[in-house]
Every structure is written in structure tokens, then in C-alpha cells.
Amino acid sequence: MMKGSYKPHVTMWSVVHEPSARGRAELRAGAAV
């Protein structure tokens, strides 16, 4: 998990293109922030 190296938009793109348990967690975390 290299969130620091990845940009916000890149993370969201990855989540949308990679619907996984980890991705969903990231999406929820981003929405919460």
C-alpha cells in the first residue's frame, strides 16, 4: 500500500478499476476524509 506515492485521483481511478475489498475500504476512507 503506497498511498503516499500515489495521487488522490490515481487512487480513486485504481479503486474504480479494481473493485476489491481493499479498494472499497480505500474508497470509504477517502469519502470519510
Q: What is the pLDDT of residues 1-33, one digit of tens each?
A: 555 555 666 666 666 666 666 777 777 777 766
The C-alpha cell that represents 25 in the structure block: 475500504
pLDDT of residue 2: 54
pLDDT of residue 3: 58
pTM: 0.28
**19-28: b or e for each residue (b if 16 or more CB lie within 10 Å)?**
eeeebeebbe
pLDDT of residue 13: 62
pLDDT of residue 22: 72
Quick one: which H or E segment has residue 24? helix 21-32
pLDDT of residue 24: 75
